[in-house]
Amino acid sequence: MRFIVHDDPVGRSASNHIARVDLAGFGLDGQVEQLWLHAVADGTYEVACIPFLTYGLALGDTVLLTDDDYVGELVERSGHRALPMMFVPDVPADDLKRAADRIRAEIRRAGLLSEWNGDRFVAVDVPPDTEPAGLFTAMESSVDAGEAFWEWAGAAPFTTRT
């Protein structure tokens, strides 16, 4: 089993809970993403990180867990959107650094939250009513150059493990 982890979740606090999402339902057999959550008083949990590979979930969404600590159900959407981007493995180091620096600069300029998994994978939180045109342009530039792929995490609905 390969675990996708969040080393520096944007919503880290002293009382986080970690749950898993089996990524087989998204075509990623043998992979699990660990999501950071905040407990809500009614027994639900709020997503406290920006999902990298889990479709249909975003920062602030409310979820229910199964008895074995998997995310079992999306209860309520927060209105946030997750925008993951992955740089392809064969991008030369200098080109990768230049492209990643451009993406980081646009994330900062737009005042958005992001999480990186290594130096090739970033997930950006896009709050409601936010359209960061400069970030989209920078991402499209990397896609057009054959350096990266990106897709809205909401492109497919959340599904539970099979």
Q: How confident is the model at residue 1 (pLDDT cuts 50, 70, 90)?
A: confident
In this structure, what are the phi and psi dihedrals at residue 116, rounded to the nearest 5 degrees? Answer: -110, 140
Residues 46, 40 contacting (CB under 8 angstroms): yes
C-alpha 52/C-alpha 94 separation (Å) is: 24
Average pLDDT estimate for 59-68:
96
> Which residue in this structure is represented by tokens 């005042």?
111
Q: What is the mean pLDDT of the chain?
A: 93
Give me the residues paired with residue 87 across strands: 148
Planar angle of CA 57, 60, 62, nearest 5 degrees: 70
Structure tokens at 90: 């064969």
What does the pLDDT read at residue 162? 46
Residue closest to 21 by CA, chosen among 8, 33, 3, 6: 33
C-alpha 12/C-alpha 10 separation (Å) is: 6
pLDDT for residue 127 is more than 90: yes
Residues present in the chain in total: 162
Q: How confident is the model at residue 159 (pLDDT cuts 50, 70, 90)?
A: confident
pTM (2 d.p.): 0.93
Average pLDDT estimate for 34-55:
95
C-alpha 27/C-alpha 128 separation (Å) is: 28
C-alpha 155/C-alpha 77 separation (Å) is: 14
